[in-house]
């Protein structure tokens, strides 16, 4: 039996693809044992649901810039490296697969110490520090964007795409059925607002500042992020009068949507307005939805901006940088997509052409081939 250790941590952008790859590995062979070694976070139960043993190590983050937080995180990194050394000694897997993110690097370094083969996946156009280091130690490297290949030298690179959550790709409902589920009108344009698994405060504020003009034109399905949900609920509940009834019929608020609910939200939407993390881009592409991408300016290495423009050059999306996130710009872009003859169809075809629904299977094959 082949034993594979999976590692990765941080946001849903790291864990969702990791779980999709775990699903693909389990489908590809019954003669496998999967083990997760990484930070214990909100996604921990997902490994247990899949009968994947999970062991925790201390989460630490190494930054490429000066920060006092490094003073506290470096000792934690040493502790997590020692924990990974001990755990891998007893597990002694055939291969370690890293998705990157906080907590993954100690496992990769411990694997290298034991000469265990390493495979990594990089989601973004610009790799994070963990994957920049891990790439020098890996036997195989899978990437989502062709643009990121330049950061990893050698012939061990596969452009695989970013795995989409398995549950999103199964039994996709029609637009009509999906809208029925949320109570949306079947004919009025619907915009899905996403900020990634943790939400996006500036996008949320833009929506709240422009409720009336936006809702007079469109319906909105809005994922604000768990941390922002209570404040958003209070804001919406404070509305009264004519606009209150308009909110209740045209606006649906969510903190975080699990995969099943997100699948219906994508199916119901006409257009997606979101941050440009790799996960959001590839999920939107899978559903063939035209999008408006608002990169997070503070993203490490400006990777969200690079992601956004790499995707937009296919014709599937427009990029609106944060300084230009204004009502008239958003309205013009959405109306152009919906009203210019053939524009929606061209963007939808481009999105589907960019999607790589077999990404998890491709990466699983690379892991098993080591």
| Same domain flag for 113 and 199 | no
Predicted local distance difference test score (pLDDT) of residue 102:
80
- Number of structural domains (the chain) is 2
Instruction: List the pLDDT tens digit at each of the 370 positions of the chain.
Output: 899 999 997 777 778 999 999 999 999 988 999 999 998 887 888 999 999 999 999 876 665 555 555 666 678 889 999 999 999 999 999 999 999 988 899 999 999 999 999 999 999 999 988 999 999 999 999 999 999 999 998 778 999 999 999 999 999 999 999 999 999 999 999 999 997 655 578 898 899 889 889 998 999 999 988 777 787 777 777 765 556 666 668 899 898 888 899 999 999 999 999 999 999 999 999 999 999 999 988 777 788 999 999 999 999 999 999 889 999 999 999 999 999 999 999 999 999 999 999 999 999 999 999 9
286 phi and psi angles, rounded to 5 deg: -60, -40
Same domain, residue pair 117 and 173? no
Does 363 lie in the same domain as 321? no
* Residue 109 shares a structural domain with residue 196: no
- pTM comes to 0.91
Q: Is the domain of 205 the same as that of 289?
A: yes
> Are residues 151 and 197 both part of a single domain?
no
Are both 365 and 318 inside the same structural domain?
no
Q: ∠ at Cα 28 (24, 33), nearest 5°?
A: 85
HEC string of the chain?
CEEEEEECCCCHHHHHHHHHHHHHHHHHCCCEEEEEEECCCCCHHHHHHCCCEEEECCCCCCCCCCCCHHHHHHHHHHHHHHHHHHHHHHHCCCEEEECCCCCHHHHHHHHHHCCCCEEEEECCCCCCHHHHHHHCCCCEEEECCHHHHHHCCCCCEEECCCCCCHHHHCCCCCHHHHHHHHCCCCCCCEEEEECCCCCCHHHHHHHHHCHHHHHHHCEEEEECCHHHHHHHHHHHHCCCCHHHHHHHHHEEEECCCCHHHHHHHHHHCCEEEECCCHHHHHHHHHCCCCEEECCCCCCHHHHHHHHHHHHHCCCCEEECCHHHCCHHHHHHHHHHHHHCCCHHHHHHHHHHHHCCCCHHHHHHHHHHHC
84 and 197 assigned to the same domain: no
Identify whether residues 136 and 240 lie together within a single domain.
no
Judgement on whether residues 343 and 232 belong to the same structural domain of the protein: yes
- CATH number at 102 reads 3.40.50.2000
* Domain shared by 260 and 348, yes or no: yes
Please give the pLDDT value at position 71. 61
Give the pLDDT of residue 331: 96
Domain residues for the domain of 151 are 2-164+357-369
Q: At what angle do helices 278-286 and 259-268 cross, to 10 degrees?
A: 60
Clarify whether residues 175 and 35 are in a common domain.
no
């Amino acid at each position: 039996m082949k034993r594979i250790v999976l590692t990765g941590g941080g946001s849903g952008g790291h864990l969702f693809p990791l779980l999709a790859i775990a699903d693909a590995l389990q489908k590809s062979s019954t003669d496998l044992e999967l083990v997760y070694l990484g930070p214990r976070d909100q996604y921990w139960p997902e490994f247990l649901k899949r009968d994947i043993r999970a062991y925790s190590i201390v989460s630490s983050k190494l930054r490429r810039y000066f920060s006092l937080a490094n003073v506290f995180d470096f000792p934690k990194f040493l502790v997590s490296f020692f924990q990974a050394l001990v755990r891998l000694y007893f597990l002694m897997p055939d291969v370690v697969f890293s998705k990157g993110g906080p907590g993954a690097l100690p496992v990769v370094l411990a694997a290298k110490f034991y000469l265990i083969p390493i495979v990594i996946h990089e989601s973004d156009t610009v790799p994070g520090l963990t994957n920049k280091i891990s790439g020098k130690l890996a036997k195989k490297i899978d990437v989502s964007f062709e643009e990121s290949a330049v950061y990893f030298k050698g012939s061990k690179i596969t452009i695989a795409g970013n795995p989409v959550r398995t549950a999103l790709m199964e039994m996709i409902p029609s637009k009509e059925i999906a809208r029925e589920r949320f109570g949306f009108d079947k004919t009025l344009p619907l915009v899905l607002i996403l900020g990634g698994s943790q939400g996006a405060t500036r996008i949320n504020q833009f929506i709240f500042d422009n409720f009336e003009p936006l809702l007079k034109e469109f319906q909105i399905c809005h994922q604000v992020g768990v941390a922002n949900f209570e404040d958003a609920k209070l804001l919406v509940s404070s509305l009264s009068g004519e606009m209150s009834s308009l909110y209740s019929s045209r606006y649906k608020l969510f903190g975080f949507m699990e995969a099943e609910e997100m699948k219906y939200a994508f199916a119901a939407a006409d257009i997606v307005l979101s941050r440009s993390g790799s996960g959001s881009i590839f999920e939107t592409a899978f559903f063939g939805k035209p999008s408006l991408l608002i990169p997070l300016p503070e993203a490490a290495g400006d990777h969200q901006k690079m992601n956004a423009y790499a995707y937009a050059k296919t014709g599937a999306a427009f990029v609106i940088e944060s300084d230009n996130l204004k009502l008239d710009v958003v309205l013009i872009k959405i109306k152009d997509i919906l009203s210019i003859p053939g524009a929606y169809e061209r963007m939808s075809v481009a999105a589907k052409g960019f999607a790589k629904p077999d990404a998890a299977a491709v990466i699983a094959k690379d892991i098993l081939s080591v």
